[in-house]
Amino acid sequence: MMMALLPLIRNFAFLSCIFFLTFSPILAFADFHLWSISEVFSDSTGTVQYIELHSSSGGQTQLAGHQLMTFDKNGQLHASYVFNANLSGDTANRNLLIATTGFTNLTGLSADYLIPDGFVVARGGAVDFADGTDVVDYGENEFPQNGIQSLGENGLPTTASPTNFNSLSATMNVPMSASFNAVSLVMNVPMINVPGLGLVFISFDVNVATLEFSLRDDFFFYSATVLPGDGLAELTAESTLYIPALVIGNDVYEINLFPVSDNPIVFGSPQIISVSTNAIVEPEEYQGY
């Protein structure tokens, strides 16, 4: 009887060995690799940012030691974060929220993990979860800095809807603001509406002695899927540049700039319309990423 069963036992042992060799690598890594990047968000200041991951499968709790990395548009590493703890609980159909302190302070929504200000590069780059497990890359014109949209998993703008591991969500509407870097003497205007042309990112070299603003050549037009947000700057029919919010230190200036030259394009004679206190203070190292 045993002799008759011997071929079956051998076949079973062989098939078990094949199954183990085939599927053991998958099983060994089945504890984190099914998370994917579902949203990437940054406001115009870089202080309100989040990255959302999504898992449709259970058992994806072993995050400790894995990295979340961001890269600039040249492929250079910009920032990295190492997950310092694993998750507990079912991960099936759950989201994971990695965000800045500015995000949690503004929305009241708790992040599952915290990242520093300026972690996400808004002007073209990539986000990499767990050494290539999932990567979202994007051009500078595809990333919305309008405070209402995030970059979705397909690389296209979508309505920002951050959700944490406890399935709690927040609605995003962060007003845009222009910023001035006192070191580089550059003013960034994240979004301006130019009649007949569309939505544009522009920046200026600032001459602090003459208070003249010379257009730099790093401007770009946003894709059609990026929507205008609150705080949109406007170029009027009279070629006046209206900036509703320019953040300098703790103050927010509402200003008009008037044309000085068409070639090169230079604005000047700033007219201050109003001054208020900045609710979101930019980090010193942030330079308009």
Q: List, edge to edge, every strand of the sheet that includes 77-82.
A: 77-82, 67-72, 125-129, 134-138
Predicted pLDDT of residue 1: 44
Distance CA(54)–CA(41), nearest Å, equals 15
| Pair of tokens at residue 266 | 């230079």
Q: Is 70 exceeded by the pLDDT of residue 39?
A: yes
Q: Out of 84-98, 152-166, 267-281, which region has the weakest mean confidence (pLDDT)?
A: 267-281
Taking residues 27-50, report their average pLDDT: 87
Predicted pLDDT of residue 221: 97
3-state class (DSSP) for residue 13: helix
Q: Is 80 exceeded by the pLDDT of residue 240?
A: yes
Q: Is 80 exceeded by the pLDDT of residue 278?
A: no
Domains contained in the chain, CATH given? 35-159 (2.60.40), 178-277 (no CATH)
Predicted pLDDT of residue 9: 43
Query: How would residue 280 be classed by pLDDT, with cut points 50, 70 and 90?
Result: low
Give the position of tokens 């690799």. 33
Predicted pLDDT of residue 169: 98
Distance CA(254)–CA(260), nearest Å, equals 19
Q: Is 60 exceeded by the pLDDT of residue 4?
A: no
Instruction: Dump pLDDT digits (tens) for 59-72.
Output: 999 999 999 999 99
Predicted pLDDT of residue 279: 61
Instruction: Dump pLDDT digits (tens) for 163-207.
Output: 999 999 999 999 999 999 999 999 999 999 999 999 999 999 999
DSSP state string for 74-141: TS-EEEEEE--S---S--TTEEEEEE-HHHHHHH-PPPSEE--TT-S--SSEEEEETTTTEEEEE-TT
Give the position of tokens 């579902």. 38
Query: How would residue 277 be classed by pLDDT, with cut points 50, 70 and 90?
Result: confident
* Residues in contact with 27: Cβ distance below 8 Å, sequence separation at least 6, in sequence order: none
Q: Is 90 exceeded by the pLDDT of residue 74?
A: yes
pTM above 0.75, yes or no: yes
Predicted pLDDT of residue 100: 98
Q: Is 60 exceeded by the pLDDT of residue 10?
A: no
3-state class (DSSP) for residue 4: helix
Burial bucket for residue 38 (CB in 10 Å: 0-12, 13-18, 19+): buried
